[in-house]
Amino acid sequence: MGWDEGSTKPELVTSTPGVSNVAASNVDVEGLDTVLWDQLPESVAICTAQGVCHYVNPAMERVFGSLGTELVGGVLWELYPDVLRQELQERFQRVAATGEPEEFEWHFMARERWFVLRLFRGHGRVYVFASENTAEKKQEAILRGLYDETRRAQRHAAFLAQASEVLASSLEHDEILQRLTFLAVPPLADGCIVDVPMPDGRVRRVAITHVRTELVERARAYHERYPIRLDALHGVGKVLRTGTTEFVPELRQDVAGGQARMEEVRRQAMMELGVTAYIIVPLMSRGRVLGALSLVNTEGGRRYTHADVRLAEDLARRAATSLDNGRLYTEAQEAVRARDSFLSVASHELNTPLTSLTLNVQALRRQLEASADKAPESVSNKVVAVQRQLSRLSSLVRELLDVSRITAGKLRLEREDMDLAALTRELLPRYAEELSRAGCALRLEAAETATGHWDKLRVEQVFQNLLSNAIKYGRGHPIDVRVGADSERAWLSVADGGMGIAQEAQPRLFQRFERLASERHYGGLGLGLWIVRQIVDAMDGRIHVRSAPGQGSTFTVELPRLPPAR
């Protein structure tokens, strides 16, 4: 039949041998002038109420690729392929019986062609019009495909954006991987597993999630029974070894049973866990395989496509980045811990001999002063210089000791009633020598009293740090110290006219080891202001700075006069 041999047949459209087509078609079919129908691009057949074709136009013949004579006299539905035959017959007979026109679309799948068929009744005949709309259908399909693709891309992008957020919200290795499986199930898979290689060559199953909780336990037990081998030819072992994705869109039970080549382990997985399709993607970062993400279907409701593979790979990339960040963070934390522990040991080790050295130098100085035969001036000057350097050294070691104490959470306050104004007045004379050596005049503007309930030694330390900095960074400029209080708080401010601090650097001032001034010209460990901040915070106070380059700096500490009720 013409449908099966199709358009490859020569387009012979003569309906009466030896007569031209136009002339032959231009015949009167039971009183009907068909000349117009001969010209129509649409296929037309005119049939009796029983379905016998009396006339078919050239367009119809072209579609069938047959001679009009073969079609004329045939029963309409029998000209069509089997798949349409029954439906066409039913519709035809309905139209013939009722006179109600019918219109329907027919997809001739074998040839990927689409037609719209229309049937009318008139003058005791049934007219059948068939027009092909394959081009529109194909265009529509392309557009639908593009639309679906765009929608899928949008959904994937939204999913990945959410995934990035979820994955970045933890830095802990196993937690990240657990979250990864929660993300994947159910949007991407019925079950999701993450396995990571261990240094001893074994594989650890870190996270597993499934829509059916009973399968989680079964998958764990399965893993214990069949541990993953890195030399496996397929599956997780291979992905971990090679860093390449493995994708099986559909794994059918019957195929698996009959296929002797199928690896035993995969066959078992299918049988025991009901896996029907899977994607295994590597978690890669900087060329290293950190793990494998397996997405499995067990409920049979979904097939995997290449778009799913791309999405799984994108998800795995994001997870690997999070793992990498987590690793870097852990390493950084370990490095900080190692540094803190070294500082603690070092500061204690330094402090012991330093204390005894300081005591000995003090004793030596006293002896020299008490001795009847005075030592030469150069010797006593040297002893004084040694003592000054020792005191500097001691204060550096004290800073280190304080840092390790505070980091270990051992900053304990010994609160007592005290007067900040009185304390400042009491402390200032101790700095007279240092101030004069630096060429700094000191002006004090203090209230009569500024009492509160604070740790006196710690407040002293705060004052000392601020004043030492003012002297160190404001040499040759006057220093103003102000102390005051109102009903709720007391304050202490130290203002120098020194080098000042750039606005953008100010937020960093109170961080550990932060040093802004040139290390060559100004000694220090970058710890003083950090310690001050910790002390002030512990007393529920606050510290702030006002400064501009070349215009000096003012550090102000405010302390609540009463500690908040806890």
Contact between 548 and ligand ADP by CB under 6 A: the answer reads: no
Q: Which of 24, 470, 479, 481 binds ligand ADP (CB under 6 A)?
A: 470
Contact between 501 and ligand ADP by CB under 6 A: the answer reads: yes
Residue type, 309: V
Q: CB of 436 within 8 A of CB of 395?
A: no
Torsion angle, alpha carbons of 547, 551, 552, 553, to 10: -10
Q: How far is the CB of 422 from ligand ADP (least distance, A)?
A: 24
Q: How far is the CB of 481 from ligand ADP (least distance, A)?
A: 13
Q: Which of 25, 34, 469, 493 binds ligand ADP (CB under 6 A)?
A: 469
For residue 342, the tally of other CB atoms under 10 A from its CB is 11
Contact between 517 and ligand ADP by CB under 6 A: the answer reads: yes
Structure tokens at 433: 């020598």
Interface region with ligand ADP, contact rule CB under 6 A, candidates 56-64, 80-88, 355-363, 491-499: 491-499
Of 451 and 468, which has the nearer Cβ to ligand ADP? Answer: 468
Closest listed residue to residue 459, CA positions, set 394, 429, 415: 415
Burial code of 209-226, b = ≥16 C-beta within 10 A, e = fewer? bbeeeebbeebeebbeee
Contact between 525 and ligand ADP by CB under 6 A: the answer reads: yes
Interface region with ligand ADP, contact rule CB under 6 A, candidates 113-121, 144-152, 306-314, 511-519: 511-519
Q: How far is the CB of 496 from ligand ADP (least distance, A)?
A: 5
Contact between 529 and ligand ADP by CB under 6 A: the answer reads: yes
Of 342 and 513, which has the nearer Cβ to ligand ADP? Answer: 513
User: How far is 193 from 214, CA to CA, in rounded Å?
Assistant: 14
Q: CB of 25 within 8 A of CB of 58?
A: yes
Q: How far is the CB of 168 from ligand ADP (least distance, A)?
A: 32
Interface region with ligand ADP, contact rule CB under 6 A, candidates 168-176, 189-197, 200-208, 522-530: 522-530
Q: How far is the CB of 201 from ligand ADP (least distance, A)?
A: 50
446 phi and psi angles, rounded to 5 deg: -125, 140
Of 297 and 469, which has the nearer Cβ to ligand ADP? Answer: 469
Structure tokens at 372: 């009847």
Cα angle 258, 263, 267 (rounded to 5 degrees) comes to 60
Closest listed residue to residue 216, CA positions, set 229, 203, 204, 207: 207
Contact between 497 and ligand ADP by CB under 6 A: the answer reads: no
Q: How far is the CB of 418 from ligand ADP (least distance, A)?
A: 24
Contact between 516 and ligand ADP by CB under 6 A: the answer reads: yes
Q: Which of 228, 498, 541, 543 binds ligand ADP (CB under 6 A)?
A: 498
Contact between 297 and ligand ADP by CB under 6 A: the answer reads: no
Interface region with ligand ADP, contact rule CB under 6 A, candidates 158-166, 250-258, 404-412, 469-477: 469-477
Contact between 515 and ligand ADP by CB under 6 A: the answer reads: yes
Q: How far is the CB of 536 from ligand ADP (least distance, A)?
A: 13
Contact between 473 and ligand ADP by CB under 6 A: the answer reads: yes
Contact between 554 and ligand ADP by CB under 6 A: the answer reads: no
Render 71-96 in DSSP notation, one character per residue: HTTSBHHHHS-HHHHHHHHHHHHHHH
Interface region with ligand ADP, contact rule CB under 6 A, candidates 217-225, 296-304, 484-492, 515-523: 515-523
Of 314 and 514, which has the nearer Cβ to ligand ADP? Answer: 514
User: How far is 57 from 69, CA to CA, in rounded Å?
Assistant: 11
Contact between 553 and ligand ADP by CB under 6 A: the answer reads: yes
Q: How far is the CB of 440 from ligand ADP (least distance, A)?
A: 11
Cis ω for the linkage preceding 186 (within 30 of 0): yes
Contact between 496 and ligand ADP by CB under 6 A: the answer reads: yes
Contact between 509 and ligand ADP by CB under 6 A: the answer reads: yes
Q: CB of 395 within 8 A of CB of 528?
A: no
Contact between 461 and ligand ADP by CB under 6 A: the answer reads: no
Of 377 and 519, which has the nearer Cβ to ligand ADP? Answer: 519
- Distance (Å) of CA 420 to CA 13, 27, 354, 458, 530: 116, 123, 31, 12, 21
| Position closest to ligand ADP via CB | 524
Cα angle 548, 552, 553 (rounded to 5 degrees) comes to 80
Q: Which of 239, 499, 543, 559 binds ligand ADP (CB under 6 A)?
A: 499
Closest listed residue to residue 322, CA positions, set 160, 169, 208, 198: 169
Of 37 and 510, which has the nearer Cβ to ligand ADP? Answer: 510
Structure tokens at 517: 């001034």
Closest listed residue to residue 495, CA positions, set 474, 480, 476, 477: 480
Of 39 and 391, which has the nearer Cβ to ligand ADP? Answer: 391
Residue count at the site for ligand ADP (CB under 6 A)? 20
H or E segment and range at residue 193: strand 191-197
Contact between 475 and ligand ADP by CB under 6 A: the answer reads: no
User: How far is 302 from 215, CA to CA, in rounded Å?
Assistant: 18
User: How far is 390 from 249, CA to CA, in rounded Å?
Assistant: 76
Q: How far is the CB of 480 from ligand ADP (least distance, A)?
A: 12
Render 265-295 in DSSP notation, one character per residue: HHHHHHHHH---EEEEEEEEETTEEEEEEEE
Of 61 and 496, which has the nearer Cβ to ligand ADP? Answer: 496
Contact between 527 and ligand ADP by CB under 6 A: the answer reads: yes
In eight-state DSSP terms, residue 7 is G
- Residues forming the site for ligand ADP (CB under 6 A): 469-470, 473, 496, 498-499, 501, 509, 514-517, 524-530, 553
